[in-house]
Amino acid sequence: MNRKLLLLSAMLSVPPVFAADIDFDFADADMYTAVNEYLNIYGSFAQSFSENYGEAMAFTNHLTYPLGKDTMKRFPSVYMGFGMGTAFANAQAIKNDANPEVTADVLPSVLPTFAFSFNAGMGLTKKWDLRLSAVPMLDLAMPDIPGSTVDTSLRVGLFRLKATYHAIPGGFLQPGLSIGPYLSYSGGKIQIRQTGLTSTGHAFSDGGVEGTVDYSYDVYANASWNITGAGAEVRAWYDLMFIAPYISWSPGFQGGSFSTEVGMEGTMVVTLTAPVAATETDTGSASITKKAAVSPFIQRIGVGFELDLFLVKAGVEMQVETVSKLAGLSLGFGIQF
């Protein structure tokens, strides 16, 4: 089976009970059994991928605003900046849970996600700040890869609002401690299409129906996600004037799903060896769809540092999500005055 197709299917597939849609005009019902069995293998990949990659997409929403000294100290202090983050889906779990016929050496050892946001903050009082990360739903143009037959489009949106209470305001060579609730939302869609693929000699066996499938096709993969969450964050830091190392702990709840459709359009040749010998060729399409829910409870632990060069601030952070056992990195910079 063609590895490019498998990788595309894995990177945007679907999970436990998936829906299959077959649009071929085969006269023999056994031929449809062959196509269904072919899709079942994609379905196992889809199930495994959505459950693991969907969790990583939800986690990435929290990785675009690294900051150390979580205090703006006074009104009307203002922060404006930009941040980005990436998480790493559990590729090994995807391989372990999916059908072994299609997983060997298909996925890379690391499956990253990506998110970015425009960040803003305002000091409300000496004890309270308000911080916002946002990206209105943007359609991003993805550059063509020279010599590639892959077309990709991406739509992303993100919102995160946090109110911060300064329990210990900190200061030069002094510790600081903050706590505050947050609300979050992440949504988007990615579409991938690759043309001119082939799959030859794929063997199948299902309920006494046996044979092989050859397929020349185009493949498309469309995935979307909508995830909302709420929780609280505790952050402690130590101010060393130009640098402030910090740690954070953040429990929370979330809801939403990661939905995927994978479709194939082209010519399929089904060769039966049982219950009778037969061969039939037809042109059509087949697709599978699935929606997977994200984990309702999350707990993040973070460690990082902030560089403070007068008005200019930059932050680097690593987070671990203990429920899904994911890790992520974030980078941000901005100005505060």
Determine the structural domain holding residue 10 and report its residue range: 3-336
Instruction: Using alpha carbons, select from 152, 154, 41 the residue that is nearest to residue 106.
Output: 41
> By the 8 A CB rule, do 198 and 215 touch?
yes
For position 52, what pLDDT does the model report? 76
pTM across the whole model: 0.77
What pairing do the DSSP bridges indicate for beta strands 297-309 and 78-89? unpaired
- Are 248 and 235 in contact by the 8 Å Cβ rule? The answer is yes
Would you state the structure tokens that stand for residue 129, as one six-digit string? 């700040």
- 3-state DSSP of the chain: CCHHHHHHHHHCCCCCCCEEEEECCCCCHHHHHHHHHHHHHHHHHHHHHHHHHHHHHHHHCCCCCCCCCCCCCCCCCEEEEEEEEEEEECHHHHHHHCCHHHCCCCCCCCEECCEEEEEEEEECCCCEEEEEEEEEEEEEECCCCCCCCEEEEEEEEEEEEEEEEEEECCEECEEEEEEEEEEEEEEEEEEEEEEEEEEEEEEEEECCEEEEEEEEEEEEEEEEEEEEEEEEEEEEEEECCCEEEEEEEEEEEEEEEEEEEEEEEEEEEEEEEECCCEEEEEEEEEEEEEEEECCCEEEEEEEEEEEEECCEEEEEEEEEECCCCEEEEEEEEEEEC
**Which residue type, as a one-letter code, is found at position 218?**
D
- Reply yes or no: is the peptide bond before residue 112 cis, omega within 30 of 0: no
Distance separating alpha carbons of residues 117 and 135, to the nearest angstrom: 5
**pLDDT at position 110:** 66
Q: How many domains does the chain have?
A: 1
Cα distance between residue 231 and residue 251, in whole Å: 6
Closest alpha carbon to 128 in 171, 181, 64 = 181
pLDDT average per 10 residues of sequence, the chain (337 residues): 37 42 77 72 68 80 87 86 89 73 54 86 92 87 61 83 93 92 90 76 82 82 86 95 94 89 83 90 84 88 93 94 92 93
Encode burial over 56-88: b for 16+ CB neighbours within 10 A, e otherwise.
bbbbbbbbbbbbbbbbbbeeeeebebebbbbbb
Q: Which two tokens stand for residue 32?
A: 């449809």
Distance CA 40, CA 19 (A): 10
According to the model, what pLDDT value does residue 80 have?
Answer: 96
By DSSP bridging, strand 115-123 and strand 78-89 are antiparallel
CA–CA dist 52, 298 (Å, integer): 14
